[in-house]
Amino acid sequence: MPQSKQQLTTPPGANSFRVQQTTASGARGGLLSTSHGNIETPAFMPVGSQGTVKGVDPSEVRDCGFQMILANAYHLFLRPGHKLIESQGGLHDFMQWRGAILTDSGGFQMVSLADLCTITEEGVRFRSHINGEWHMLSPEKSMEIQVALGSDIMMVLDHCPTFPCSFAQAQEAVKRTTRWAKRCAEVPKKTHQWMFGIIQGGIFPELRKESTQELAALDMNGYALGGLSLGEEKPAMFEMIETVVGLLPPDRPRYLMGVGLPEDLVEGVARGLDLFDCVIPTRHGRTGWLFTSTGRVMIKQARYIDDPNPIDANCECPVCQRFSRAYLRHLFISREMLGVRLNTVHNLWYYGRLMAELRQAVRDNRFEDYRKEFYGCRESVSKEPISQATVD
């Protein structure tokens, strides 16, 4: 049976969400309050799957403008173990992160590690990619792990189908995701914790509607769109967003999982979404792909060998204030660790500034003007296919 509204409602002083502004186009700004601080929305969450945003100190993540990060229950269960983390005071203390934390349940690993797992109604039986041991990740186990971690927002265990998949496969995933969500809701949680449902349905509008309606009936604290950014064309992703947004409770946070590039964030905000996460800013930093206000810089290219300019003349990040493209290229070509760190800090700063600008544009009721300016000043928009990464 689904959890009752009373059981899912957090007590006063714990988590809350309030929409503060909505533009004529549907973009909205709000405030998500947690026991570990307030998050102004729309917001982007850097990915720290294993309890760290790769290559940077938690204080640097905060300095880049982020108030919440994402960690992964699956990876932390395997190493170092949720019970160990709980004994250390929970994930916030363990990693010395003073903001909020959202934990993903591990459902996406069904796709990314499909050759190592089997899905049944009980849950996901999988072989560890670390040591080969077999484990069962049930909805109840996923919640147990996330409760022990002490995250502010926990994601239900969902059945995320591969892409492409048939209508029948997507429909089975929708039904199982709803059944698993009901089981997740029965697990006792800490008073500060919220639980979000995950909408599935592939690229089939009728299944997305069905999943949205079934999860909305469970009166969850927030709702995420899962099973996107798996290789589908962007118009299909945007269609799925538009299909479900109007069916979601307007007073609950809306979260697009695993997305994305800067233009994806702009388009997601335009369609009324509040939360985003992706490995792109950190992973691309490690591969020398740097984001700027006019497009991208591939720092390994020979054109930058003697370039004295910063990555982005319009950027106020500590990297652009001190280092040249020539130096950053030297570090990257030399495979120096400092280069990876500086690239990551710059990309995180860029994403932090982008989200701050999007929030301000909503507050000032000039979102559509900002959207035009965003595209107008870019030399090129990436044509890279969208794909959701497994861990960062």
Mean local confidence (pLDDT), 110-126 = 84
Average per-residue pLDDT for the chain: 93
Domain of residue 207, CATH code: 3.20.20.105
Burial of 5 (0-12, 13-18, 19+ CB in 10 A): exposed
Which percentage of the chain shows pLDDT scores above 70? 92
Query: Cα 56 vs. chain centroid, distance in angstroms?
Result: 18
pLDDT in tens, 73-85: 999 999 999 999 9
Are residues 55 and 25 part of one domain? yes
Are residues 329 and 242 part of one domain? no
Task: Name the phi and psi angles at 297, rounded to 5.
Answer: -120, 120
Task: Name the phi and psi angles at 235, rounded to 5.
Answer: -55, -35
Are residues 53 and 101 part of one domain? yes
Asked whether residue 235 is assigned to any structural domain, the reply reads yes
Are residues 328 and 270 part of one domain? no
Are residues 335 and 217 part of one domain? no
Query: Cα 366 vs. chain centroid, distance in angstroms?
Result: 26
Please give the pLDDT value at position 107: 81
pLDDT in tens, 226-257: 999 999 999 999 999 999 999 999 999 999 99
Residues annotated catalytic, as ranges = 104, 277
What is the pLDDT confidence band of residue 111, given thresholds at 50, 70 and 90? Answer: low
- Picking from 250, 278, 306, the residue at the C-terminal end of a domain is 278
* Residue 223 domain boundaries: 14-278
pTM of structure = 0.94
What is the pLDDT confidence band of residue 390, given thresholds at 50, 70 and 90? Answer: low
Mean local confidence (pLDDT), 317-329 = 98
Are residues 144 and 99 part of one domain? yes
Mean local confidence (pLDDT), 117-144 = 94
Mean local confidence (pLDDT), 200-213 = 98
Mean local confidence (pLDDT), 152-161 = 96
pLDDT at 219 over 80: yes
Are residues 252 and 352 part of one domain? no
Burial of 390 (0-12, 13-18, 19+ CB in 10 A): middle
Exposure string (b/e) for 93-108, b if CB count within 10 Å is 16 or more?
Answer: ebbebebbbbbbbbbb
Beta-bridge partner residues of 44: 276
- Picking from 234, 261, 278, the residue at the C-terminal end of a domain is 278
Q: Is the peptide bond before 235 cis (omega within 30 degrees of 0)?
A: no
Q: How many domains would you assign to the chain? A: 2
Are residues 308 and 263 part of one domain? no
pLDDT at 4 over 60: no
